[in-house]
Structure 1
């Protein structure tokens, strides 16, 4: 009798546990900027300082894995996959490196961005590689045969001999890959990658502004470049400039949100173009950093108002996106 009661209790508990996990992982119908963003397991997405790479109809989101139970000697990059930019499936940690170049305690791997080389069929990850004093200032490269496969460390270097800290990525409409990097002595570099994405082909532009968190999008004949001031973890007024070609000349930088909001507490990491059958939406992707509880850092994703040389990030709020149509709908609570 006792055994039967224990069996029933166990079955009931497992049923409630499965129900709870199912509820946590229920399908989302909207993006809620600044809130906890659960993945398919119900866990908060850990893809900080990240980038998005689209492969056919699937988006892959790579970012810094910051959960609490990580091995302190390793640095991790997580990967998530989605077809709707709203519901994300955890594909695992595609990077779990120990110190690759004897950089010492508290070595740094930040802002991973993945390019696909049509020439080689490889997925190439760039990231900021540094020591604890930020004096190494290089980009690291890792490669994989699959977008969600394990990436193998390849090398590090300084692009064209320049210091490189925060990096960003841009894929132009013709598929050409570009790296954006912050160089403390000189400014904001835009460089074109080689066809195999393993090196720099040439410098395209040097914008003499000291900015990090760089991102670029091409929209209706204009290039829009955005970046963040150098204030560490603290948010600041992100700004943008425009040009008719990547080579410039670039306009003066202007605020992309009300200055007093400090970009609504976020820092830029990517401008994502979602081109659909009816329209094209440009999403601002930013990080809301929590330096003391990094695992709880949030994301500010929001459609921008863009066109005719103007770029504006509106007050964040819940919205729905239809990637097939390229449209968004703001939700009024």
Structure 2
């Protein structure tokens, strides 16, 4: 991308920063689909963010709306954590092997190795029944280039046959691999094998590990095991990565199911009021993960020696680090239905629109789309339609959908009930998911 002699990452920062400055609001809105520069949903789950040369690079699982299989790992970039540019599928499905056809690829994490300057990508590879796990890795010379799959990661020449993983790079450049149940491996200097087991079984029953260094201590976050459903996540702390690790309990209010999300990663974010730690969580949405699974990004803090996500901010500014409202004209809707095919349409004039409503255990999917209305009354699809979820394990009244920014025009937003009841079972046969197919729309907020 070029602009007046500025190219590469610097050019993208300039152009996107200009776009942000011209935009009405530049906000992180949790629990709704996000859209990239192509108008498609940002599809990067289970991943991480790497900051480099003024850009944030988001890596994640490139999900489908049809089935849980490995379709590749994606990479997006942003100057501000709000506007995302799709770079590429940095690691596609392989022809065969652990990440070949009929396999699963999850929990992708990337670190730049200080010793080699190369980027090393880690992932969980498995079969569709989650009975053949590997921790694998790939390498690349550039952060958003084509990663070369290298195969399973080893420790003392033995394969690491585990699943959920996280990574952490300490201040001295040492890299660590974190796996479910709380094992911690220190990586070799080139980050391409595990050299030492520095922690073992510190969180039995835990998965989705992530580490942050805050307040002079190390904090490790874990989720319980409830399949695609969320739960009250917890944390441990230690003076070093070698421990000793002390259980510190829940870091979000009990019963909120960690803001209806599963811990993923912790990112330092520079705001005008100083650096904050940003909790990154996935709000999974089985089976429609590509469009309906969303992200929960919130502020973490250490208060009186305890890690806290004390207040859920539905909308906040990454510039100030503070809560801000989504501004616009409000239109009361009051639509509530569980009948497949029933819909509500709301005409509006503006450039962006948000939906609010209640999500709970009786909720399900709707198809949400926007049509632009031409001068002669003809219409053309302006955004979507995509699946949007009204299911939440912990009841939540808030934003369900926020459209991409569109040319200001006369439009009609339509919400159509699918009638699906999203349910699934885990390997043990335990049932999870919704008990209904309800869609509940309170109001529409129109940004001019």
Shorter-chain TM-score tier: 0.7 to 0.9
Q: Give the structure 1 partner of residue 161 of structure 2.
A: 163
Distance 1:152 1:27, change over 3 A: farther
Q: RMSD value over aligned CA atoms?
A: 2.6
Shift of 1:273: 1.6
Three-state SS of the structure 2 residue aligned to 1:227 is strand
User: TM-score w.r.t. structure 2 length?
Assistant: 0.63
Shift of 1:105: 6.0
Shift of 1:112: 0.6
Task: Write the mapping of 1:98-117 to structure 2, written as runs, cut at 5 A.
Answer: 98-101=94-97, 106-117=102-113
Shift of 1:28: 5.4
Q: Distance in 2 between matches of 1:266 and 1:277?
A: 27
Question: 1:111-143: per-residue Cα shift (whole Å, max 9, x none)?
Answer: 111111122221111000111232222111111
Is 1:122 paired with 2:118?
A: yes
User: TM-score w.r.t. structure 1 length?
Assistant: 0.83
Q: Distance in 1 between matches of 2:69 and 2:183?
A: 31
Q: Distance in 2 between matches of 1:52 and 1:303?
A: 15
Q: Distance in 1 between matches of 2:29 and 2:82?
A: 9
Q: Give the structure 2 partner of residue 226 of structure 1.
A: 221
- Which structure's CA Rg is the greater one? 2
Q: Give the structure 1 partner of residue 386 of structure 2.
A: none
Is 1:282 paired with 2:277?
A: yes
Is 1:329 paired with 2:327?
A: no
Is the Cα contact below 8 Å between 2:70 and 2:103 reproduced in 1? no
Q: Distance in 2 between matches of 1:102 and 1:196?
A: 22
Residue of 182, 198, 205 corresponding to 1:210: 205
Q: Distance in 1 between matches of 2:25 and 2:115?
A: 37
Q: Give the structure 2 partner of residue 180 of structure 1.
A: 178
Q: Give the structure 1 partner of residue 41 of structure 2.
A: 44
Q: Give the structure 1 partner of residue 186 of structure 2.
A: 192
Three-state SS of the structure 1 residue aligned to 2:28 is coil
Question: 1:225-284: per-residue Cα shift (whole Å, max 9, x none)?
Answer: 101001110101000111111111111240111221111210000011225675220000
Question: 1:9-54: per-residue Cα shift (whole Å, max 9, x none)?
Answer: xxxxxxxxxxxxx9xx968500001112111222210001111112
Three-state SS of the structure 2 residue aligned to 1:263 is helix
Is 1:260 paired with 2:255?
A: yes
Q: Give the structure 1 partner of residue 58 of structure 2.
A: 61
- Structure 2: runs of 5 or more not aligned: 1-18, 327-448
Is the Cα contact below 8 Å between 2:167 and 2:210 reproduced in 1? yes
Q: Distance in 2 between matches of 1:302 and 1:102?
A: 34
Shift of 1:220: 2.1
Is 1:134 paired with 2:130?
A: yes
Distance 1:244 1:307, change over 3 A: farther
Three-state SS of the structure 2 residue aligned to 1:257 is coil
Question: 1:135-177: per-residue Cα shift (whole Å, max 9, x none)?
Answer: 2221111111111111111111354545310111112223322
Is 1:29 paired with 2:39?
A: no
- Structure 1: runs of 5 or more not aligned: 1-21
Greater strand fraction, Structure 1 or Structure 2: 2
Three-state SS of the structure 2 residue aligned to 1:264 is helix
Q: Distance in 1 between matches of 2:312 and 2:115?
A: 42
Greater helix fraction, Structure 1 or Structure 2: 1
More displaced 10-residue stretch of structure 1: 214-223 or 306-315: 306-315
